[in-house]
Structure 1
Amino acid sequence: MMNSVVERTRKKLELTPPQILVIGFAVIIFAGALLLTTPIATASGQPMPFLDALFTATSATCVTGLVVVDTGTYFTKFGQIVIMLLIQVGGLGFMTMSTLVAFMLKKRISLKERLVLQEAMNQGSMEGIVRLIRKVIFYSLTIEFIAAVIFSIRWSMDLSPGTAIYFGIFHAVSMFNNAGFDLFGSITGPFSSLTSFVDDPVVNIVAMGLIILGGLGFIVISDLLEFRKHRKLSLHSKVVLSMTGALIVIGAVVIFIFEFTNPKTLAPLGWSGKIWGALFQSVAPRTAGPNTLDIAGMRQASQFFIIILMFIGASPGSTGGGIKTTTFTTLIGAMIAMIRGKEDIVLFRYRLGKDRILKAITMTMIALFLVIFVSMVLSTTEPRSFLMILFEVTSAFGTVGLTMGLTPDLSMVGKILIALMMFIGRLGPLTLAYALGPKVEKELYRYPEGKITIG
């Protein structure tokens, strides 16, 4: 009897994979915040206020990029390297990094660890999960290395070789992991991001390539690299690639049209600058935070459109946030099926299961509720326009990092709420709900079906 009680207690105390992910990310954030509060982390030598350090560590670990201070001027190299490591761990996931250590020590990956990896990578099964993690680590480090080399060569034309290499590594890690942190505040002025490279083809191509690859997800990258061998793509990859391409093209066209005559953004630029600027600001809301145009100077129509792009976000299994491109595609598919009087959602000749549709609706509704609720609260604590507040909240939820300039002036309540939104956005609302909610038990009975009038 005693043994059975102990066994039941042990099972209750045992953490589920979602709970391990939530606790793991929280521990990394607090560790990063403590490091950023040390005097050697700041250029002034004064300890950073803990709330600001916690906000910065959350933004880095959740690969967002919203900042209360300028990264390039406020932090020393030690502080900047701490931020870069938090971005790398947060982007790939702490379980991926711990698996890398296990590989190096030639340790076996346990069943429990595989379950957590499955949850972290948003996979439907454990089959091939360790093989996928190996690919994730290899692809990530290879892509970051190539981008760092190209950035270093380009920036060595303007900066000293040591600074160019350092900037190349930092920005390759930041952009591939879809974080908006940059160091150019020390070169072109605080919070300037990549605005001085608006018409630079090398910086634009490499930066956009990193953002897109980081936002596609490692499953899609693996699929693309193995296409020559298998000669086919999975349904997931087809949906992600088609929706990502559509959003980038539509976004670029919309921003180009609305900003073409805006004297604060595209109007002063030549044709190449206009095209690069519109394209980059369409790619950046894929949950990366660097910008080449002044976001605060854009027209409200463009700002609101970017909010929509940020809310959709990147793709599952990637370094980005948002409700994800697959969720958005499922919702569009459901709408088209309903309008056409069809019972099934069909994508590329495959029918989607009802559970996928319900999960997409649930994810979207939770996300909408969070964004609306936090925006309403901040509209009472922050003396700014509602559009600016909505932009900042959506940027935090989508782990984007684009800003209209509100973050540095946030109140204590604002910083806490935005930090929580970044945390929820990185883990995913459903993962957090599973972690905090009771264990799901199978229903023993079902209620009779009822009918209500819709529309």
Structure 2
Amino acid sequence: MRKLRFSRSINLSPPAILVLAYTVFIFLGALVLWLPISHTGDIGFSEAIFTSTSAVTVTGLVLADTGSAFTGFGQAVIAIMIQLGGLGLMTTAVLVLGALGIQVGMPQRMILREEVNQTSLSNLMVLVRIILVIAMVCQTIGAILLAFVFVPQYGWNGLWQAVFHSISAFNNAGFALHPDSLSQWVGNPLINIVIPLLFIFGGIGFIVLGDIYQKRNWTRLTLHTKLMLIGTLILILWGSIAFGVLEWSNPETLGTLSTGEKLWASWFQGVTPRTAGFNTINTGGMHDSSTLLTMTLMVVGGGSTSTAGGIKVTTLAVLLLATVAFFRRRTVLHAFGRSIGLEEVMKVMALTTISMLLVLTSIFIVSISHDGNFMDLAFEVTSAFGTVGLSRGATAELDGFGRAIIIFVMFLGRVGPLAIGFFLATRSVPRVKYPSGQIYLG
């Protein structure tokens, strides 16, 4: 009898492999969270898949209180998914392979390059080690400091709370073990300093932190690092001051707090939309103006090669620089003694356009199937896209279709930019050139 051999080779691009890896990991996480050992009895598979997606994409939107709906085992599973999703699945895999002494080949390096949003294969392993060291040091220090708050209040269980919230904060996940997030510590200095610093360090970008550690001199820092630091500082100041001014007398948010608590809350709420997702006030009680401010910050997000989402701070910086250059009749952008070419502007325009179309289309679809408050629905979708996790309460009221849309947006908000980056980094030389035409704008 003759043996028939079938040889099939499936060629997938690095972004496709990443998408597949994240999808498989989300479903495996959902199956584990669905087990009776993981929850207290009120979690079905739809809630499990929603929670798993939210954890892996480090978003933080939930359908049930994490602290009461999930057992200690379930909370540990969520923390692991947050850690792996925040650092990146391929980054973690490379670290494991390196620890086992297994050589990381070229295909794995290409996938890793897409995940950490790099255009070069050089120094990838160095970047991976930088990511691991920064993550472990920041989260360890954060857990130790948070223990001074949680242990006196919750006993030895406070140690786990300190570890969980440190992991969640650094990875910009926004998962909390309390139904009101961190609202009961609205005036606690340690919470208001440690938690924001964790998600600022996690969201500013590992490349930026590594560059600062290596150069330690402003003039020697790269253009990317300078734009990230200046942009982050401006957005933090703008968000904190604007939120405080808009909400100072609102009885549902800052109005009933003392002056010190108002200042702490304004600082916290001005920083947390940068994809962190924690809150110390009632987000659903914000004015529409503050809601729009928060949505804008959620869309911008954090930095490239970070645990944060959004279109990224450098994208916003290039858009603004391009606008200034247009009105000054310049064809090349300038910043900190460096130039930014037209190709970079086109990449930024493509990323921003796709992101805005995704957000607006998702809001449109969700608003068709739900008659809830439009601002609340738009807020949830924007939070899902930016992988933020802040909520005005509409997520829990969505039906199966609405939850599916939010899951889809969370997934694209985390994995989408990785796939888009592949196409933006791929050049194609046109074989045919057409004569230039003219269109009228404005």
TM-score, normalisation: structure 1: 0.93
Alignment deviations for residues 337-360 of structure 1 (CA, whole Å, 9 cap, x no partner):
112222211111211121110111
Correspondence for 1:402: 390
Aligned-pair CA distance for 1:429: 4.1
Correspondence for 1:3: none
Aligned-pair CA distance for 1:383: 2.1
Aligned counterpart for 1:42 among listed residues 39, 42, 56: 39
Q: Is the CA contact 1:41–1:79 (under 8 Å) kept in the aligned structure 2?
A: yes
Q: Does 1:20 align with 2:7?
A: no
Alignment deviations for residues 330-382 of structure 1 (CA, whole Å, 9 cap, x no partner):
11111111122222111112111211101111111111111111101111212
Amino acid paired to 1:27: V
Q: Is the CA contact 1:37–1:49 (under 8 Å) kept in the aligned structure 2?
A: yes
Q: Is the CA contact 2:114–2:421 (under 8 Å) kept in the aligned structure 1?
A: no
TM-score, normalisation: structure 2: 0.95
CA distance in 1 between counterparts of 2:412 and 2:231 reads 24
Q: Does 1:314 align with 2:302?
A: yes
Q: Is the CA contact 2:82–2:173 (under 8 Å) kept in the aligned structure 1?
A: yes
CA distance in 1 between counterparts of 2:404 and 2:369 reads 12
CA distance in 2 between counterparts of 1:375 and 1:89 reads 29
CA distance in 2 between counterparts of 1:37 and 1:151 reads 30
Aligned counterpart for 2:145 among listed residues 130, 146, 150: 150
Correspondence for 1:447: 434
- 1:411-422 to structure 2, matched below 5 A, reads 411-422=399-410
Amino acid paired to 2:361: F
Correspondence for 2:154: 159
Q: Is the CA contact 1:59–1:66 (under 8 Å) kept in the aligned structure 2?
A: yes
- Runs (5+) with no aligned partner, structure 1: 1-5, 185-190
Correspondence for 2:3: none
Correspondence for 2:293: 305
Once the two structures are overlaid, the 10-residue window that deviates more, 336-345 or 67-76, is 336-345
Aligned counterpart for 2:266 among listed residues 273, 278, 290: 278
Aligned to 2:272, the other structure's residue is in SS state: helix
Equivalences, count:
436
Aligned counterpart for 2:255 among listed residues 267, 279, 291: 267
Q: Does 1:122 align with 2:117?
A: yes
- 1:74-89 to structure 2, matched below 5 A, reads 74-89=69-84
Cα distance change on mapping 1:356 and 1:92 into 2, 3 Å: same
Amino acid paired to 1:73: S
Aligned to 2:62, the other structure's residue is in SS state: coil
Amino acid paired to 1:174: S
Amino acid paired to 2:59: T
- 1:160-309 to structure 2, matched below 5 A, reads 160=155, 162-184=156-178, 191-228=179-216, 232-309=220-297
CA distance in 2 between counterparts of 1:430 and 1:94 reads 12
CA distance in 2 between counterparts of 1:324 and 1:405 reads 26
Alignment deviations for residues 162-192 of structure 1 (CA, whole Å, 9 cap, x no partner):
21110011000001000011102xxxxxx30
Q: Is the CA contact 1:208–1:284 (under 8 Å) kept in the aligned structure 2?
A: yes
Amino acid paired to 1:445: V
Q: Is the CA contact 1:311–1:394 (under 8 Å) kept in the aligned structure 2?
A: yes
- Runs (5+) with no aligned partner, structure 2: 1-5
Aligned to 2:153, the other structure's residue is in SS state: coil
Q: Is the CA contact 1:379–1:389 (under 8 Å) kept in the aligned structure 2?
A: yes
Amino acid paired to 2:170: F
Aligned-pair CA distance for 1:443: 2.4
Correspondence for 1:109: 104
Once the two structures are overlaid, the 10-residue window that deviates more, 273-282 or 225-234, is 225-234
Give the fraction of aligned pairs with identical amino acids, expressed as a percent.
39
CA distance in 2 between counterparts of 1:57 and 1:451 reads 50
- 1:36-75 to structure 2, matched below 5 A, reads 36-44=33-41, 48-75=43-70
Aligned-pair CA distance for 1:231: 6.5
Aligned counterpart for 2:366 among listed residues 365, 368, 378: 378
